[in-house]
């Protein structure tokens, strides 16, 4: 006598995630609308519809999780091209295992023969809504938009490696989840470049005609010959989104009705013609122009090369102009209001002030001297993450390691990089924040008001305690009460704070060149 099969023990749901406060669709209505009703799924009213499919939120009873159910429109079930294209989308997306491509869970058919597949239900908003919430010209739109686009490049580059081109890259097909995850969606118009469909039925991926969304499609897509389309067609789509991030416009101008005709003619407007003041974004504007070149030969040959230039712009500086000064040149007088910021990339700069008719050296600055230890770690770790990601992509392409393991590791790298970028952005915002106006100091902090005339620093040669310990300090502070010099909180010794703890002197001031702010340790106010 065989032992009866044991059922799994009951499992509690980690958290309740309501689906738009809706009730499940009535079974009768589901039958009338051709909505699949598998026993293990509870299906809710649709979230949206496309050219040939509908998407519903659903709950998987077995796995206790919410999913998205995508079904073919019942009017198209009898059309071999659309039915084949829908099934091909599910199968192809299911094989593209990447952290930035939404995973497919299952492919099935209703009793009436309507194909459907389920995938991860992404809680967030599409990139189009994200762009509308961030006005053109703001730092958040440029930096945040480029970070999103870098992850799109990761996904598309991986798909190209697997022999798949998307052909409909646009903000509406990019989902930005609640915690910064980015997913490339809707592979229904994708085309294979290395193999052909296993099915004998002709699907949309091989059908002639214009493919994609007019404002974002390349000229070769507008002309409609699948043989002309390759990875550079997706380069154009990403370039069009980059164009939009920078300028708020599309490569084919403001008249949506003319986009398809202009695309067929290859009439792409240079980003400078939009009339938008690009400022520091000129460098990224040039990248967008190259990515959206009408002739594929003039574009970036691959998404990875486009991504390299975007990342170099974002993390390697904003293509700022360089200036060379002769030795002994005075760049700025003490007390003058500067009209430019300087970053030393080569050589050294002596910082001094004049006291009683003689020059008093405050320090010597060289390349990277203004970089804190945390900033140095972030810079080096970001570089390491890029190298690690490239190596993982190479390993993944060889097919010798489990994709689930590699996907998990890639996801961890993405999360770490996102945290590093957030930290750098936050640090920059703090540095750029305005000081408390003098007329507000008295009411906010009596210690800052009392320290209006600070004591002169006891030394300008460095932090005495760091020198005694043989340690390199980052930046110098001086006590407003007694003038004792100590190092900042980014230095391991934190001797400025130590001085406050030992003496109770509340106010320290920066004695770094060009800085005049003070900090009250008691009230924790800068002014």
CATH code of the domain covering residue 169: 1.10.510.10
- End-of-domain residue from the set 120, 147, 164: 120
Q: How far apart are CA 51 and CA 72, in angstroms?
A: 10
Same domain, 232 and 176: yes
Q: Three-state SS for 260?
A: helix
Question: Both 284 and 309 in a single domain?
Answer: yes
Measure the CA–CA gap between 260 and 267, rounded to whole angstroms.
Answer: 10
Q: How many structural domains is the chain composed of?
A: 3
158 and 76 within one domain: no
Final residue belonging to a domain, choices 272, 290, 319: 319
Same domain, 173 and 275: yes
| Long-range contacts, stretch 23-28, CB < 8 angstroms, 24+ apart | 25/56
Q: Using alpha carbons, select from 480, 403, 487, 493 the residue that is nearest to residue 449.
A: 480
Looking up residue 503, the CATH number of its domain turns out to be 3.30.40.10
Separation CA 444–CA 487 (nearest Å): 26
Give the residue from 506, 496, 527 showing the smallest Cα distance to 447. 506
Same domain, yes or no: 269 and 243: yes
Domain extent at residue 440: 434-526
Phi, psi at residue 48, to the nearest 5°?
-175, 170
Whether residue 133 is found in the same domain as residue 111 = no
55 part of a folded domain: yes
For residues 191 and 56, state if they share a domain: no
Q: Verify that 176 and 274 share a domain, yes or no.
A: yes
Do the domain assignments include residue 75?
yes
In degrees and rounded to multiples of 5, residue 300 shows phi and psi of -60, 135
Q: Is residue 3 part of a domain?
A: no
Q: Same structural domain for residues 474 and 517?
A: yes
Catalytic residue among 73, 168, 289, 414: 168
The 3-class SS string of 107-152 reads: EEECCCCCEEEEEECCCEEEHHHHHHCCCCCCHHHHHHHHHHHHHH
> What does the angle CA 446 – CA 450 – CA 451 come to, to the nearest 5 degrees?
120
Report yes or no on 246 lying in a domain. yes
Domain end marker among 275, 298, 319: 319
Q: Are residues 251 and 152 in the same domain?
A: yes
**pLDDT tens, the chain, 527 aa long:** 555 656 655 555 545 544 544 688 888 888 888 889 888 898 988 888 877 789 999 988 888 888 999 999 988 988 888 888 889 889 989 999 999 999 999 999 998 899 999 999 988 899 999 999 999 888 789 889 999 999 999 999 999 999 999 999 999 999 999 888 999 999 988 888 876 655 544 455 565 667 788 999 999 999 988 888 999 999 999 999 999 999 999 999 988 899 999 999 999 999 988 888 776 677 888 899 999 999 999 999 999 999 999 988 887 654 455 678 888 888 887 767 666 667 776 677 877 777 777 777 766 676 655 555 566 667 778 778 888 888 887 787 777 777 778 778 888 888 787 777 766 655 554 444 444 555 555 556 888 888 777 888 888 778 999 888 877 788 889 999 999 999 988 787 889 999 999 999 999 988 876 677 888 888 888 77
**Residues 63 and 163 grouped into a single domain:** no
Burial class of residue 437 (count of CB atoms within 10 Å of its CB; 0-12, 13-18, 19+) = exposed
Q: Is 414 a catalytic residue?
A: no
Does the residue 361 lie in any domain? no
Asked if residue 105 is part of any domain, the answer here is: yes
Residues 254 and 227 both lie in one domain: yes
Q: To the nearest 5 percent, what fractions of the chain are helix, strand and coil?
A: 40, 15, 45
Say if 170 falls within a structural domain.
yes
- Specify if 141 maps to a domain: yes
Q: What is the CATH number of the domain that holds 82?
A: 3.30.200.20
What SS3 state is found at 252?
coil
């Amino acid at each position: 006598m065989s032992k009866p099969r044991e059922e799994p023990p009951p499992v509690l749901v980690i958290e309740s995630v309501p689906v738009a406060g809706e009730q499940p669709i009535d079974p009768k209505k589901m039958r009338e609308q051709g909505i699949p009703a598998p026993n293990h799924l509870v299906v809710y009213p649709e979230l949206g519809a496309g050219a040939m499919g509908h998407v519903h939120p659903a709950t998987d009873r077995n796995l206790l999780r919410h999913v998205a159910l995508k079904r073919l429109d019942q009017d198209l079930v009898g059309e071999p091209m659309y039915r084949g294209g829908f099934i091909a989308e599910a199968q192809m997306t299911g094989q593209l295992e990447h952290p930035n491509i939404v995973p497919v869970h299952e492919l099935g058919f209703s009793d009436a023969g309507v194909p459907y597949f389920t995938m991860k239900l992404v809680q967030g908003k599409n990139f189009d809504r994200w762009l509308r919430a961030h006005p053109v010209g703001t730092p958040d739109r440029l930096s945040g938009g480029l970070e999103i686009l870098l992850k799109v490049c990761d996904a598309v580059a991986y798909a190209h490696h697997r022999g798949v081109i998307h052909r409909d890259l646009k903000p509406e097909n990019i989902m930005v989840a609640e915690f910064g995850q980015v997913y490339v969606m809707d592979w229904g118009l994708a085309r294979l470049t290395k193999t052909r469909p296993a099915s004998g039925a002709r699907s949309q991926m091989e059908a002639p005609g214009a493919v994609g969304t007019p404002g974002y499609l390349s000229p070769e897509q507008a002309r409609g010959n699948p043989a002309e389309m390759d990875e550079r067609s997706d380069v154009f789509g990403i370039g069009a989104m980059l164009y939009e991030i920078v300028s708020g416009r599309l490569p084919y101008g403001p008249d949506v009705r003319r986009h398809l005709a202009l695309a067929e003619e290859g009439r792409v407007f240079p980003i400078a013609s939009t009339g938008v003041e690009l400022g520091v974004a000129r460098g990224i504007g040039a990248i967008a122009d190259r990515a959206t070149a009408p002739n594929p030969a003039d574009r970036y040959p691959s998404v990875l090369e486009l991504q390299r230039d975007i990342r170099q712009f974002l993390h390697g500086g904003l293509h700022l102009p360089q200036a060379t000064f002769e030795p002994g040149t005075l760049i700025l007088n003490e007390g003058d209001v500067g009209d430019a910021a300087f970053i030393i990339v080569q050589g050294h700069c002596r910082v001094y002030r004049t006291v009683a008719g003689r020059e008093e050296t405050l320090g010597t600055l060289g390349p990277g001297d203004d970089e804190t230890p945390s900033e140095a770690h972030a810079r080096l770790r970001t570089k390491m993450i890029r190298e690690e990601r490239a190596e993982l992509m190479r390993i993944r392409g060889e097919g010798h390691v489990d994709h689930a393991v590699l996907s998990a590791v890639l996801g961890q790298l993405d999360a770490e990089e996102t945290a590093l970028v957030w930290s750098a952005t936050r640090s920059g915002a703090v540095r750029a924040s305005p000081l408390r106006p003098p007329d507000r100091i008295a009411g906010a902090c009596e210690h800052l008001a009392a320290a209006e005339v600070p004591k002169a620093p006891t030394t300008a040669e460095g932090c005495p305690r760091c020198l005694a310990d043989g340690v390199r300090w980052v930046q110098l502070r001086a006590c407003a009460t007694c003038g004792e010099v100590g190092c900042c909180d980014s230095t391991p010794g934190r001797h400025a704070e130590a001085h406050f703890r030992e003496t109770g002197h509340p106010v320290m001031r920066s004695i770094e060149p060009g800085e005049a702010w003070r900090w009250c340790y008691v009230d924790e106010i800068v002014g």
